[in-house]
Amino acid sequence: MDQSSFTAFATPAEPSKGSQGGSDGTMLQRTADSLDEQKLTPLLAQLGEEARTWRFAVAPNPCVGAAVLSRGKVVAKGFHRVFGGPHAEVEALAKAAKSQVDPDALDLMVVTLEPCSTEGKTGACVQAILKSGIRRVVVGALDPDARHQGAGLEALREAGVEVYLMEGHSELEKLSPHFLHWHAPERLRRPRPWVIAKWAQTRTGQLQPPEDIGEGRWISCDDSRSEVLELRGRVDAIVTGVGTVLADDPRLSVRTPVTCDQPPLRVVLDSFLRTPVDSHLFKPLHEGEAAGQVILLTVAGADAGRWRALEAAGAEIHGLHTEDGDHLSLREVETWLWNRGVRRALLETGPTLLNSFLDRGYVDQVRIYTGDVNGGRGTSMGTWLADASLEDRLDRELGVDAVLEGFVDENRR
Ligand SMILES: NC(=O)c1ccc[n+]([C@@H]2O[C@H](COP(=O)([O-])OP(=O)(O)OC[C@H]3O[C@@H](n4cnc5c(N)ncnc54)[C@H](OP(=O)(O)O)[C@@H]3O)[C@@H](O)[C@H]2O)c1
């Protein structure tokens, strides 16, 4: 291993003997004396590889793996497994705390990415590490976000923890390319939520089955539909078009056994307020069912009578501009969602709105269930799929369905 990639982390204010300037202005010192590089390099690689298993579940967050060691032996490993769930460091620390090893003997944490220093959906990992009493931390990559880069390492170092940066050993380009897209300058300049488009299609790529199959509505099998409920519980909003509301009258809820702290907002794109006031969206929730506020995004100046009636039914309504003098501007929709705090959105809609999102490059990730159904009605997604370039693609089977997941190629966004 190149010695220069294994460095202790120090600040410019307190340069240590033999230190060198880091590219971000921090001072990095070569000192590998007290750690066994031979073991750390493969451990970081292994943690990174395992962490990628959960790439679709955590995106836009990065895939992160962590290990707690005692005298050179791994006591516990942890991974970031689900968006909104515990970070890798927290999971590893919790497992280590439950192990037989004396807490005082836990002497090293190895983590593929710089620990976070700010509170997000979960507490800051830096605080969890400090609380654990572990005094040495090895990190495989810096946070790519210039606003936070080095802050986690610095906070640990200031608290007296020895921090070693093994830059280049957990390359984000390989482990979490999606996380780099999420931090691309253009995206930071004009932020919009991470959009996961999920759809069920027949073998011919249609989103509507033949009339006589699945009540004319269901294409995917029970297992797939249960999995979608889980996904709903891990997003901030479910977005659909009024076409789906009119055709299917969905509830867009999360149901037992899936639970979530904050049920996702239910957002309907409805340019002319065609959503019926007696839709299931406005019906009381059943026991074991959770659902967020119903929000109708419409064209500013939509019919005032319908506006009032839908508000009385329980909808929150916001007027936006149109894109082409007709439909809502998706750019404005995206900005609105972001400003409302939506970071991860699930697009569960019919072919019209789905293709609008895809055409404008607003879909980041797809999950496509191809059911055991021939034929179907409406537009086929076959052409899009034939052309699609998906990064980190995963093909799997679930019951009788074929499931395809992937990140939409950056150049096609
Ligand atoms: N298989 C699946 O995964 C799946 C999922 C959901 C639905 N579906 C099926 O899809 C069918 C409904 O599909 P659909 O295509 O009619 O409805 P849709 O895509 O759900 O909704 C389309 C409507 O959204 C509104 N919209 C607002 N802004 C838009 C924009 N910028 N671009 C495009 N549309 C915009 C438009 O109506 P306004 O202009 O009036 O607002 C448009 O007619 C149903 O049969 C349903 O069962 C299948």
Dump pLDDT digits (tens) for 325-377.
889 999 999 999 999 999 999 999 999 999 999 999 999 999 999 999 999 99
Q: What does the alpha-carbon distance between residue 413 and residue 192 come to, in Å, rounded to a whole number?
A: 12
CA-nearest residue, atom 33 of ligand 1: 353
H/E element, 347: strand 344-347
| Structure-block tokens of residue 293 | 């506020």
Asked if pLDDT for residue 31 goes beyond 70, the answer is no
Task: Answer yes or no: is the C-beta of 199 below 6 A from any ligand 1 atom.
Answer: yes
Number of H helices, E strands in the chain: 14, 21
Report how far apart, in Å, the C-alpha atoms of 365 and of each of 55, 60, 295, 357, 394 are: 11, 9, 23, 12, 12
Q: Mean pLDDT across the stretch 396-413?
A: 89
Grouping H, G, I as helix, E, B as strand and the rest as coil, residue 56 is helix
Measure 117 CA to ligand 1 centroid, in angstroms: 41
Is residue 21 predicted with pLDDT exceeding 50?
A: no
pLDDT digits (tens, 9 = 90+) for 117-141: 887 766 689 999 999 999 999 999 9
- Strands, E, within 278-328: which ranges? 289-290, 294-299, 316-320
- Judged against a pLDDT cut of 50, whether residue 4 lies above it is answered with no
**28-32, 199-203, 224-228: range with lowest mean pLDDT:** 28-32
299 lines ligand 1 (CB under 6 A): no
Fold equal for 3-179 and 190-412: no
63 vs 33: CA distance, rounded Å: 29
Q: Which two tokens stand for residue 175?
A: 């482990």
Asked whether 331 lines ligand 1 (CB < 6 A), one says: no
Catalytic residue among 37, 49, 89, 215: 89
CB-ligand 1 contact for 208 (6 Å cutoff): yes
The candidate with the shortest Cα–Cα distance to 125, out of 104, 140, 109, 141, is: 109
pLDDT of residue 134: 96
* Pick from 250, 243, 113: nearest CA to 170: 113
pLDDT in tens, 231-285: 999 999 999 999 999 999 999 999 988 888 899 999 999 999 999 999 999 999 9
pLDDT confidence band for 1 (50 / 70 / 90) = very low
Residues contacting 221, CB < 8 A, separation 6+: 371, 372, 398, 399, 400, 401
Distance between alpha carbon 364 and the CA centroid of its chain, in Å? 10
**For 163, how many CA atoms within 13 A lie in the half-sphere containing its CB?**
32
Comparing 314-318, 384-388, 392-396, the range with the smallest average pLDDT is 384-388
Indicate if ligand 1 lies below 6 Å from the C-beta of 323: yes
The structural domains of the chain, with segments of one domain joined by +, span 3-179, 190-412
Determine if ligand 1 sits within 6 Å of the CB of residue 123: no
Q: Per the structure block, which two tokens stand in for 212?
A: 């006589």
| Helix, strand, coil percentages in the chain from 3-state DSSP, rounded to 5 | 30, 25, 40
Q: How far is the CA of 234 from the centre of ligand 1 (A)?
A: 23
Q: Which amino acid is at 405?
A: E
Q: What is the pLDDT at residue 13? A: 34
Gap between the Cα atoms of 387 and 370, Å rounded: 17
Ligand 1 centroid from CA 223, angstroms: 24
Which amino acid would we find at residue 251? R
Q: Distance, CA 352 to ligand 1 centroid (Å)? A: 5
For the domain made up of 190-412, give the CATH fold. Dihydrofolate Reductase, subunit A (3.40.430)
Residues 6+ apart with CB under 8 A from 315: 275, 281, 282, 294, 295, 296
Q: Considering only CA atoms, which of 371, 352, 363 is closest in space to residue 240?
A: 352
* Non-local CB neighbours of 314 within 8 Å, separated by 6+ positions: 282, 294
Indicate if 14 belongs to the active site.
no
131 dihedral zone (left: phi>0; alpha: psi -120 to 50; beta)? alpha
Please give the Cα distance from 80 to 78 (Å, whole number): 7
Q: What percent of the chain has pLDDT over 90?
A: 79
- CATH fold of 3-179 reads Cytidine Deaminase; domain 2 (3.40.140)
